[in-house]
Amino acid sequence: RTTDFKGKTLWEIVGNLKNFGIGRIITRGMYERYPEPSYFKILKVETLPNPETVSFDNVRKVRVWVEKTFRGKVFPSPIIMESATYKADYRLIPKDEEEKFCKTVVKDETKIFPKYFEFPP
């Protein structure tokens, strides 16, 4: 089975950073398809206890509180990421590129549709 993931698991990234990467910016490979910036700002990290049944997926999980920005829009409250953290699809944004990466260009493209449409019978 092949995947479209490219990158590292979230635990591989935050486990190697000072203070578990709190304050750093990460993104997922699947967000590269959007022109607007989509990323996570790490607020808090918790490791999970060893699972009773060991599998490839649950050994690499971690619980992370993040401030999520999706397609340039910031979510109002922090979200908890846990279920998808084992996927090898995360990428750390270097500190010198964070400001440029997070810069939001607001394009307010309001589509105005006509009041009536022509449809075939």
**Phi, psi dihedral angles at 87 (to 5 degrees):** -75, 135
Write the pLDDT tens digit of every residue in 57-99: 666 778 889 999 988 888 899 999 888 888 888 989 999 988 8
Taking the domains of the chain in order of start, what are their residue ranges?
10-102
Closest CA to 7 of 102, 84, 101, 98: 84
pLDDT given for residue 41 in this prediction: 92
pLDDT given for residue 26 in this prediction: 93
The pTM score is 0.75
- 32-51 burial: b if 16+ Cβ within 10 Å, else e: eeeeebbbbbbeebeeeeee
**Phi, psi dihedral angles at 95 (to 5 degrees):** -60, -35
First-last CA distance in the chain:
46
